[in-house]
Amino acid sequence: MFTKKRIEINLNKNAKFSIYFATIIIFGILVRFIFINKLPPALHFDEARNGLDAVKILSGEIKNLIKQPVLLGDKDPSKEALYNNILAFSIKTFGQNETSLRITSAILSSISLVMFLFLSKKIFRGDKKSQVIAITFYAFSSWNIIASRLVYRLNLIPLVTIGALFPLLAILKSKKPSTLNYVLFGAINAIGIYTYSSYLVLFLFLYTTIFVFKLHKKVFYSILA
């Protein structure tokens, strides 16, 4: 009887937190999309330039991701190509307008929000309250919401970073990390190079983390235990 009652309590708690998570995700996505055609009221110079580059990719004036994978080439040799190619796909799908540009960032931010939910579950494991706090801060942080409405390449960084943390955590938590996790970690970071120049700093930090981990395994195991 006691065991059955305890199972029912745990099921009720899990159901309650599932509702919390679903509510946070729904409202988090909502605030990224609501009035996206009106707020912000106009494109900033850099946003308009990103949109123009995307139009040039569609017209063939700028080489696409396959022909010119890392940078946009002669037209803008310092700009990473991935975001603008995604913008080009959005323009082709939704039309050449401000909303089709902004919706790209909103979609990327929403995907990163869902991914962060699963990441928080991995980091905090059975600690549901910490998971709720973490996902709430991520979903409704002003920087995150504002960035999700701007047509900037930096919107790819949270998405790629969160993706890279999954195999990294698996590497750090395992005494014998699988080759697959190393391959995934390297592949995701390789994609990160296509996003924004500042990702290179994070890229070096993540690899430094693994290097230090290899030197001081016992310290890491005590932290992650």
Residue-wise pLDDT for 93-139, tens only, equals 999 999 999 999 999 999 999 999 999 999 888 788 899 999 999 99
**57 and 92 share one domain:** yes
195 vs 197: CA distance, rounded Å: 7
pLDDT at 222: 53
49 vs 156: CA distance, rounded Å: 17
Domain residues for 86? 1-151
Does residue 155 sit in helix, strand or coil?
helix
111 vs 32: CA distance, rounded Å: 11
Q: Which amino acid is at 92?
A: K
pLDDT > 80? residue 202: no
Q: Cα-flanking dihedrals φ and ψ of residue 71, to 5°?
A: -115, 165
Are the beta carbons of 71 and 81 closer than 8 angstroms?
A: yes
Residue-wise pLDDT for 160-183, tens only, equals 999 999 998 888 887 788 889 989
Report how many helices (DSSP H) and strands (DSSP E) the chain contains, helices first: 10, 0
User: Could you tell me the end-to-end alpha-carbon distance of the chain, in angstroms, rounded to an integer?
Assistant: 33
DSSP string, 117-132: HHHHHHHHTT-HHHHH
The token duo for 148 is 């999700």
Q: Which of 128, 151, 174 is the last residue of a domain?
A: 151
Q: Which of 106, 134, 151 is the last residue of a domain?
A: 151
Number of structural domains (the chain) is: 2
**103 and 163 share one domain:** no
